[in-house]
Amino acid sequence: MQSKEANTRADVVRQRRTNRPRKTKAPVSSRRAPKAKTPAQPPVLIRGGLPSAYTPDRRRGKQAKRRYDVALNTPGAEMRLPSLPRLAIGWRLLSGLLVVGLASLIYMAWTDPVFQVTAIQVRGLQRLDKQDITAVTGIVGEPIFLVQPEKIQQDLKAAFPELARAAVAIKIPTKVEVEVVERQPIIAWVQDEQTLWVDASGVAFPPRGEDDPSIRVEALNWPAAPTSESDPELGKAASQLLSVDMVNAIQSMDEEAPKKTPLVYDSQHGLGWKDSRGWEAYFGTDVEDIDMKLYVYKAIVKRLKKDHVRPELISVEFVHAPFYRLER
Rounded-to-integer distance, Cα 18 and Cα 157, Å? 137
* pLDDT of 45 above 60: no
* Residue 11 φ then ψ, to 5°: -65, -35
| DSSP codes of every residue in 79-148 | EEEEEEEPP---HHHHHHHHHHHHHHHHHHHHH-GGGB--EEEEE--SSS-HHHHHHHH--TTSBGGG--
Rounded-to-integer distance, Cα 142 and Cα 154, Å? 19
Rounded-to-integer distance, Cα 296 and Cα 308, Å? 18
pLDDT of residue 276: 87
Domains of the chain: 113-182 (3.10.20.310), 187-326 (3.40.50)
105-132 pLDDT, tens per residue?
A: 777 777 777 888 888 999 999 999 999 9
Q: Are strands 175-182 and 119-123 parallel, antiparallel or unpaired?
A: parallel
| Amino acid present at 146 | L
Angle between helices 244-256 and 290-306 (to 10 degrees): 20
Rounded-to-integer distance, Cα 322 and Cα 267, Å? 18
Name the percent of the chain lying above pLDDT 90. Answer: 44
pLDDT of residue 113: 78
pLDDT of residue 35: 56
Q: Are strands 203-205 and 194-198 parallel, antiparallel or unpaired?
A: antiparallel
Determine the average pLDDT of the residues in 121-148.
90
CB neighbour burial string for 232-268, b if at least 16 within 10 angstroms, e if fewer: eeebeebebbbbeebbebbebbbebbeeeeebbbeee
Rounded-to-integer distance, Cα 40 and Cα 28, Å? 30
* pLDDT of 62 above 60: no
Helix (H, G, I), strand (E, B) or coil at 275: coil
Confidence of residue 54 (pLDDT cuts 50, 70, 90): very low
Higher-pLDDT residue of 73 and 95 is: 95
- Provide the whole-model pTM: 0.64
* pLDDT of 77 above 90: no
Name the nearest CA neighbour of 327 among 315, 304, 309: 309
* pLDDT of 254 above 70: yes
